Amino acid sequence: MNQTVICPGSFDPVTLGHLDIITRASRMFDKVLVAVLVNSSKRPTFSTEERIELLREATKELPNVEIVSFEGLLAEYCKKSGIGTIVKGLRAVSDFEYEFQMAIANKKLNPQLETIFLTADADSTFLSSSMVREICSMGGDIGNFVPACVHDRIVRKLCQS
């Protein structure tokens, strides 16, 4: 069976933690759609286009990964696109309750939809995009937190804002 899965998120910006989940999903499934949420209530620092560009660069060695964006409900987007599986990372127990709620709500909205969780690798359990933004904007080194190929672009943007 040819299986396409979706890895959704804000990716503001992409981190090594996201890349770990995307890479492992790309080994497990035929195709991985990485879906960038457009209308985030979080008011993203990076525009949708910038987040897509960074993800394209970070995943360019993974031929079965495609970057897309979506607005509105994830469950509806999956229904429209014929996708039946969401893949998300779980970094710590604290992620679990929220992710569990989202998985159940998504299944209520679209009963065909399953959510699969991959445990984040040990180096990413503490990592988040807002931590990257904060460290970088205060002059800290984010070299261990973001993919090397997009490091300079992320730093340039965060130094401007």
> CA 75, CA 68: separation in Å to the nearest integer?
15
Q: 76 — phi, psi (to 5°)? A: -70, -40
> CA 21, CA 147: separation in Å to the nearest integer?
13
What does the per-residue mask of binding to ligand COA show for 74-113, with x meaning CB under 6 A?
A: xx-------------x-x----------x--xx-------
Catalytic site includes residue 161: no
Minimum distance, C-beta of residue 7 to ligand COA, in the bound complex (Å): 9
Which of 18, 51, 88, 133 does the annotation list as catalytic? 18
Minimum distance, C-beta of residue 3 to ligand COA, in the bound complex (Å): 19
Say whether residue 34 binds ligand COA (CB under 6 A): no
Phi-psi region of 30 (alpha: psi -120 to 50; beta: other; left: phi over 0): alpha
> CA 71, CA 80: separation in Å to the nearest integer?
12
Minimum distance, C-beta of residue 30 to ligand COA, in the bound complex (Å): 21
Of positions 15, 45, 59, 110, contacts ligand COA by CB under 6 A: 15
Total residues contacting ligand COA (rule CB under 6 A)?
23
Catalytic site includes residue 69: no
Helices within 13-125 (DSSP H only): 16-28, 48-58, 74-81, 93-109
Catalytic site includes residue 42: yes
Catalytic site includes residue 151: no
Burial class (CB in 10 A: 0-12, 13-18, 19+), 56: middle
Of positions 28, 30, 49, 73, contacts ligand COA by CB under 6 A: 73
> CA 159, CA 145: separation in Å to the nearest integer?
16
- Footprint on this chain of ligand COA (rule: CB under 6 A): 8-10, 12, 15, 17-18, 21, 37, 73-75, 89, 91, 102, 105-106, 120, 124, 127-130
